[in-house]
Structure 1
Amino acid sequence: MPITSELRPDGIRVVTVDAPPVNALPVQGWFDLAAALDEAGADPLTRVVVLRAEGRGFNAGVDIKEMQHTDGFDALLGANRGCFAAFKAVYECAVPVVAAVQGFCLGGGVGLVGNADCVVASDDAYLGVPEVDRGALGAATHLARMVPPHLMRTLYLTGRTISAADLVPHGSVLEVVPRERLDGAALAVAGEIAAKDPRVIRAAKEALNGIDPVDVNRSYRFEQGFTFELNLAGVSDELRDRFAGTDKAQQ
């Protein structure tokens, strides 16, 4: 299964994404991830979640090949709804979510990480939102939670990536460590949270969401509307076909 969930004796629940070759999730994978996070928050024994991945990178977004090999708009609609559900599940998880990011974190990966409560990364980690090259819009909402406005616009409009090390000064990444120490670093900060009174931590998570200046769910849904417009105009299919035919990472 691409999504697994394991509750440790210390109350840390480790949710792992493992969908080779690049952790680009199919439609069902996004819904499965959302379900795992919802279940984690609903379990009173869960004190904190560590969201991590196996493989070369944390997440490469949606499975574009699935989308391009599915007739009609079912896969597109499924991916949009699945991403919305997964990002929402991270944000609204009743307990804090610590993201452990290695290698590439692109598109939907930024949606997950941008909604997390704490981010720890390996020294080879980098983040980016290549949506403009794929005929889609989305995750600017989440990228905006990690960098200042003008940097967000530059990264979004150019499709450039930014290293996790460069995000540390912005405060959006807590620390960068060698890859072999990534799980340990994520578990360490998660352990600090798990040691607190869980009643207070759950209340704190809800309170922090309540004072956020931007409604991330509504903001992301607004972005998705433009994705549908581009699809109806035929632009998205053209760009996705070009990507699926030339990109070697997912072949």
Structure 2
Amino acid sequence: MPVRSERRADGIRVVTVDAPPVNALTVQGWFDLAAALDEASADAQTRVVVLRAEGRGFNAGVDIKEMQSTDGFAALVGANRGCFAAFKAVYECAVPVIGAVHGFCLGGGVGLVGNCDVVVASEDASFGVPEVKQGALGAATHMARLVPQHLMRTLYFTARTITAAELVQHGSVYAVVPREQLDETALELAADIADKDPRVIRAAKAALNGIDPVDVNKSYRFEQGFTFELNLLGVSDELRDGFVGRDR
């Protein structure tokens, strides 16, 4: 299973993504991740979630190889729906979600992290939305929660990445630590949250979402509409074929 979920005795639930080689999730993988977070949200014993990953990096987005090896648009539609479900599950989780990021955090990874309540990262972590290189759009909604508007646009148009150390300056990453201290740091922060009255914390999460100035679900779906247009025009397929070809 590419997604594991374990609730500890102290109420901290650790959700781990482990989909070698780069944690690029298949359609089913995105829905599995959404289900794990929905389960955490519905569990009254869960006080806080730590979302982490094994392997070389946190998340490399959707599995483009799966998309290009599937006839028609079923994989494209599935990936879009799966990403939407997973991002939504992070944002709407009834308890705070802490993203523990190491290595690369790309595309769908930014979608997850941008919707987290708190982000901690290792010194080697970098964040980016390379969608324009694969003929897609998406996660600008979530990158805009990590950096100011003009920087988000620059990163989006150029497909460049930004380091965790740079994000600390914008206040979107809470702490940057050596890789070997990442899980410990995330769990220490989670324990601090788990120590509070869960009734208050759940109310606080609902209140903060309620005063959020951006409807992240609606704005991300708006972005996805342009991705479908680019696919119907054949642009996305051409660029994804090039990406898969380079990886052979």
Partners of 2:241 and 2:206 in 1: CA distance: 41
Partners of 2:137 and 2:187 in 1: CA distance: 33
Alignment partner, residue 142 of structure 1:
142
Alignment partner, residue 78 of structure 1:
78
Structure 1 vs Structure 2: percent identity of aligned residues? 81
In the comparison of the two structures, how many residue pairs are matched? Answer: 248
Say whether residues 1:216 and 2:216 are aligned partners. yes
After superposition, residues 90-169 of structure 1 pair within 5 angstroms as: 90-169=90-169
Say whether residues 1:58 and 2:55 are aligned partners. no
TM-score by length of 2: 1.00
Amino acid at match of 2:63: D
Partners of 2:193 and 2:244 in 1: CA distance: 41
Say whether residues 1:243 and 2:226 are aligned partners. no
Runs of 4+ in 1 over 4 A off after TM superposition: none
Deviation at 1:111, TM superposition (A): 0.0
Alignment partner, residue 4 of structure 2:
4
Provide the aligned C-alpha RMSD in A.
Answer: 0.5
Deviation at 1:83, TM superposition (A): 0.1
Deviation at 1:117, TM superposition (A): 0.1
Partners of 1:224 and 1:30 in 2: CA distance: 16
Please state whether the residue corresponding to 1:168 is helix, strand or coil: helix
Amino acid at match of 1:143: M
Deviation at 1:2, TM superposition (A): 0.5
Amino acid at match of 1:217: N
Alignment partner, residue 49 of structure 2:
49
Query: Please, which runs of 5 or more residues in structure 1 have no aligned partner?
Result: none
Partners of 2:245 and 2:164 in 1: CA distance: 29
Say whether residues 1:24 and 2:24 are aligned partners. yes
Alignment partner, residue 88 of structure 2:
88
Alignment partner, residue 14 of structure 1:
14
Partners of 1:23 and 1:166 in 2: CA distance: 24
Amino acid at match of 1:15: V
Alignment partner, residue 171 of structure 2:
171
Query: Please, which runs of 5 or more residues in structure 2 have no aligned partner?
Result: none
Amino acid at match of 1:209: N
Partners of 2:147 and 2:189 in 1: CA distance: 22
1:149-183 CA distances to partner (integer Å, 9 max, x unpaired)?
00000000000000001000100000000000000
